[in-house]
Amino acid sequence: MNQEYGDPKFSGTVHPFRVAGFSNAKPKYENEHGHRPFVRIIEAQNVQCRQASQWLEQTRREHEQDLKLPHERQLKRAPTQEPAHVISVHDRSSASPGTLTKDQQTVNDRFLHAREQHRGLAKQKGWTVNDSVLDYRAARDCLRQGDDPECVKCALETCSPAISGRHPNVRHYAERTLAKALEDSQVQKLRAKVLDRQQKQGRVLGL
């Protein structure tokens, strides 16, 4: 708020929570008797800044709307959602060329399992547990397994713990995390192989 409406110099986290005293404790203001000046409140009014209150109310409404969006999308998606099509590296040896059908719940379970594995590793190594890092690594692992990116994005939106509290715009966060995970070299190699196989199938079928 200070960056936009107040003094930009007072934008640090410490400033809103600092309790101001009634004396100026800076040494340069100390007099010859070792005393420093005190402040006396002459007049005070119990009023609130109307502009700040309106801004806070608007921000609260926007935040509540952002929290509702992922839940509403999930409710709309659930009755008509079709099984996701993915390539599983575990089943590659027995699967025929093409795609192996998995449902969204399978991707969700894989995402949560990978996330817990990385959380356990971080705790074991004494690393700082960062939820955004855990989301990225779980998404990357799912993509490395051949999961469909849209299913992975859905898993990010619906399965990452307390995601709406950490990121006001869940959809944008999931898209950014997915895009970063898609840059992984192993993921790109796997997707290139899948694309190459699909192109070869198309040539064989005369498509």
DSSP string, 64-105: HHHHHHHHHHHHHHTTTPPPEEE--STTTTTSPSS-EEE-HH
Residue 17 within any structural domain of the chain = no
Q: Which of 66-80, 156-170, 192-206 tops mean pLDDT?
A: 156-170
User: How many domains, in total, are found in the chain?
Assistant: 1
More confident residue, 145 or 46: 145
Burial letters 50-68, b for 16+ CB under 10 A, else e: eeeeeeeeeeeeeeeebee
Q: Percent of the chain beyond pLDDT 90?
A: 26
The reported pTM is 0.48
When pLDDT is cut at 50, 70 and 90, the band that residue 43 belongs to is confident
Across the range 183-195, mean pLDDT stands at 87
Residue 48 within any structural domain of the chain = no
Residue 108 within any structural domain of the chain = yes
189: CATH: 1.10.1240.50
What range defines the domain where residue 189 resides?
A: 54-204
- d(C-alpha 205, C-alpha 207), whole Å: 6
Residue 193 within any structural domain of the chain = yes
Across the range 66-95, mean pLDDT stands at 46
Residue 8 within any structural domain of the chain = no
Residue 187 within any structural domain of the chain = yes
Across the range 124-148, mean pLDDT stands at 91
How many helices (H) does the chain have, and how many strands (E)?
8, 2
Residue 19 within any structural domain of the chain = no
* Cβ burial, residue 104 (10 Å; 0-12/13-18/19+): buried
When pLDDT is cut at 50, 70 and 90, the band that residue 53 belongs to is confident
Range of lowest pLDDT (60-69, 98-107, 135-144)? 98-107
When pLDDT is cut at 50, 70 and 90, the band that residue 199 belongs to is confident
When pLDDT is cut at 50, 70 and 90, the band that residue 94 belongs to is very low
Average pLDDT of the chain is: 75
Residue 22 within any structural domain of the chain = no
